[in-house]
Amino acid sequence: MNTKGDYKRAEEVDGEISGTKKSCFFNHIVFTILCCLGNIAYAGQIAYLGAAISTIEKRFQMRSTQSGLLFTVNDVVGLCTILFITHFGQKGNRPRVICVLYMIFAISALITTVPNFLYDLPLALRVDSDVEVNGVNDTGLRGTRHVESITCDAGTNVKNAVCDEERISQSGTLMNEAWWLFLGQAISGLSSAIAPLTITFIDDNQKKKNTPVYIGLIFSSWTIGIVFGFFLANFCLRQPVTFPNIDPQTTILDPRDPRFLGAWWLGLMICGVFILVVTFPLFFFPKKLPGSPADEEGKSVEGEIQTEEFVLGIGALKDFLQASKRIVTNITIIPLVLSTCLGILSFVGLRAFGTKYIHTQFDIPTSQASFLIGIIIIPCAIFGNVTGGIIVKKFNLQKRGMVTMALLLSFSTVALLPFFFLAGCPQKPRAGLSLPYSVNNATVMATYDLPNLDASCNADCECPSTYRPVCGSDGIIYASPCHAGCAGEAVADSGDFQNVTVFTDCSCIPPSDDFGEPYATPGECSQDCSFVFHLSLGLLLSTFASLSTAPTAVLKMRCVDERDRSLVLGFVNLMTKLLAYIPGPVLWGALIDKACVLFQESCDKTGYCMVYDTDKFRTFYYSTVLVLKFIDVITLAIAFAAIVFGLKKAQNYLAMEPHKVADTNGKMEGDENEETTNGNVKEQTYTTV
């Protein structure tokens, strides 16, 4: 076994000891910048995946419950590895471990893009399978074959006539292609330990009073990354999936066309390459930074090897179990962890399906919805993260002050949420989906249950399951010209219609004195609905939520022994995955599927949801968030009570036996200025803040 001197010399040979030989490049500023850049792309990829989820659902014909599994599989892998990577990763060179984890995440993002290059688009999205009208498809391009008519052509439309072997294989969820996405997400789960290792490394190499500011910067980089991801989605999802090879003859270019598919893979590739480039220098950082408090004072840095040799054996496992026991028996940490889980569970809905919500609720294209979510987050979430850290430092908030701040902010969120029920658009009138068919001002088959696209007015049309919405002259949306009973088609070039396709002779649309004979035009009927109220509420909600990020992160580290800080953050990560990230996307997906009124259907197999009941969607969405945040307030109140009780207990102890303070080994409940060496208190003062 090496002596201590030999061990130090070995470190010098390996370049692991800080000193004058180390370049000024290896400092906390550069480390923070590199990690922030990596976090921007890391969080950007996660946000991008959520923004593109509607496009991915369409591409692979998934339900929301199935697409939610994309987020879940990532967290299942993280759940199985986070504690071990965090605990054992801190024993070695943390910057190098962080670098490797970033590399793994980048590679996983590239793997996720593989289906775009290996497989053709499903039949329903190909131009060469467009439905034809009199030999010409509805995009104005010559089709390669006659499949089915989108107009009412009695006797020629047979719903199941096109269910040949190829179409059957392309019906339902395309899991034989989507498994690449699940593989990439599973591999990315190995990188879950980046956050706890980064935060504790910064905390170990900074003065305690500066830690909240740097943690605020780290969390702000995640917020910027989320914004970056949404902006990236705004660009990528406006590009056709064939980008950069865009051929108008074979590619649908109009985002309003239900078959348009954005370049869902492009943003994933950009994020993966960016991470590979910007985080590679972390591999060359030392274990501890020159000029850090630990380096100057000779303190033992958290994660530094305490023995002459680093051996992962029974001793390390025993230490891991003892540290875990200290955390799970800490009566202050448990409610704080539950509060974090509840907050993330409510956030998971926004992460995975926020863009889908804006898209369906306000009839905004997916790319524009991504941009608007980014606009909501930019001015307030970054402000909240940084300001929260500054408040903790400025007012020198101790544990009671930080938990009070978090409690008040959470209560403010609960008070704000009910207003979101009013911030939405009314349900669009859709024949057979949100209201019955009506002919000559009389309801047709009024007793049938919705949804039901079949009615007496289109019974002879034998309409296929193709969804090509049209707006009737009565202001009602119909699933297709066929479902509207329209038998004719013409190109209008007068009045309000300039070179616009108009479907005529529509038996399901009642005539009107204002419009004369019934007709329908391609696309859904427009709706005058403002997004401003929802945007304003979103600004406030995001600000309240982000202000508590830095104080709660610092609070969790201050409520445990210094030696357990990395592990407690790993424990928080573990519990958030177990209770929020893993079940959350699937639960949210199932909840959203409940609001669906029309699924894609082909050859008796169902795929993604094409139409939602917006009223149900809004009610389900915000009712769930409100319940979760209300329980969050309760858990924070419990944490507040535990901290106040611990503080009073500590003050009573000091009053009775002040001479024993030096022997407490940092285990006493209360607020203290933590300056420890291996858990032994060097200076400990209690406050009433």
Measuring CA to CA, which residue among 124, 129, 137, 161 is closest to residue 489? 137
What tens digit of pLDDT does each residue of 604-626 get?
Answer: 777 788 888 888 899 998 999 99
CB-based contact 60:116 (threshold 8 Å): no
pLDDT at 88 over 70: yes
**Percent helix, strand and coil across the chain, each to the nearest 5:** 55, 10, 35
Of 467-476, 564-573, 634-643, the poorest mean pLDDT is in 564-573
Distances (CA, A) of 439 to 55, 232, 431, 517, 581: 36, 46, 11, 13, 49
Beta strands at 596-602 and 605-612: parallel, antiparallel or unpaired:
antiparallel
CATH superfamily of 27-122+174-285+321-425+530-649: MFS general substrate transporter like domains (1.20.1250.20)
Question: Residue 138: what pLDDT?
Answer: 38
pLDDT at 68 over 50: yes
Residue 683 parent element (H or E): strand 680-683
Question: Residue 249: what pLDDT?
Answer: 64
Cβ atoms < 10 Å from Cβ of 81: 16
Q: What is the mean pLDDT of the chain?
A: 76
More confident residue, 679 or 632: 632
Cβ atoms < 10 Å from Cβ of 646: 19
Question: Residue 10: what pLDDT?
Answer: 40
Hey, which of 18-22, 242-246, 447-451 has the most confident mean pLDDT?
242-246
The alpha carbon of residue 594 and the mean position of all alpha carbons in its chain are separated, in whole angstroms, by: 20
The alpha carbon of residue 406 and the mean position of all alpha carbons in its chain are separated, in whole angstroms, by: 23
Question: Residue 430: what pLDDT?
Answer: 87
pLDDT at 209 over 50: yes
Residue 336 identity (one-letter amino acid): L
Measuring CA to CA, which residue among 674, 32, 676, 51 is closest to residue 359? 51
State residue 29 phi and psi, 5-degree precision: -70, -50
CA–CA dist 239, 225 (Å, integer) = 21
Residue tagged 């001479």 (tokens): 659
CB-based contact 379:539 (threshold 8 Å): yes
Q: Quote the tokens at residue 197.
A: 């290792």
**pLDDT category of residue 272 using cuts at 50, 70 and 90:** very high
More confident residue, 296 or 151: 151
Hey, which of 150-164, 405-419, 532-546, 564-578 has the most confident mean pLDDT?
405-419
* Buried residues in 178-194 as b, exposed as e (16+ CB within 10 A): bebbbebbbbbbbbbbb
Measuring CA to CA, which residue among 339, 236, 312 is closest to residue 575? 339
CA–CA dist 576, 568 (Å, integer) = 12
Question: Residue 106: what pLDDT?
Answer: 93
**pLDDT category of residue 143 using cuts at 50, 70 and 90:** very low
Q: Quick one: CA dihedral 288, 291, 295, 299, positive or negative?
A: negative
CA–CA dist 469, 482 (Å, integer) = 10
More confident residue, 542 or 514: 542
Cis ω before 244 (30° cut-off from 0): yes
State residue 388 phi and psi, 5-degree precision: -60, -45
Cβ atoms < 10 Å from Cβ of 339: 26
Where in the chain is CATH 1.20.1250.20?
27-122+174-285+321-425+530-649
CB-based contact 2:11 (threshold 8 Å): no
What tens digit of pLDDT does each residue of 288-344 get?
Answer: 776 655 555 544 444 444 444 444 456 667 777 887 888 888 888 888 999 999 988
Average pLDDT score over residue span 646-650: 62
Residue 685 identity (one-letter amino acid): T
Residue 182 parent element (H or E): helix 175-188
* Buried residues in 458-486 as b, exposed as e (16+ CB within 10 A): beebbbbbbbbbbbbbbebbbbbbbbbbb
CB-based contact 477:430 (threshold 8 Å): yes
CA–CA dist 197, 209 (Å, integer) = 19
Burial class (CB in 10 A: 0-12, 13-18, 19+), 102: buried
The alpha carbon of residue 247 and the mean position of all alpha carbons in its chain are separated, in whole angstroms, by: 33
Question: Residue 634: what pLDDT?
Answer: 93
Cis ω before 451 (30° cut-off from 0): yes
Cβ atoms < 10 Å from Cβ of 219: 26
Measuring CA to CA, which residue among 176, 125, 155 is closest to residue 602? 125
Question: Residue 605: what pLDDT?
Answer: 73
pLDDT at 356 over 90: no
**pLDDT category of residue 136 using cuts at 50, 70 and 90:** very low
Question: Residue 164: what pLDDT?
Answer: 64
What would you report as the CA-atom Rg of the chain, rounded to the nearest whole angstrom?
30
| SS3 state of residue 171 | coil
* First-last CA distance in the chain: 49
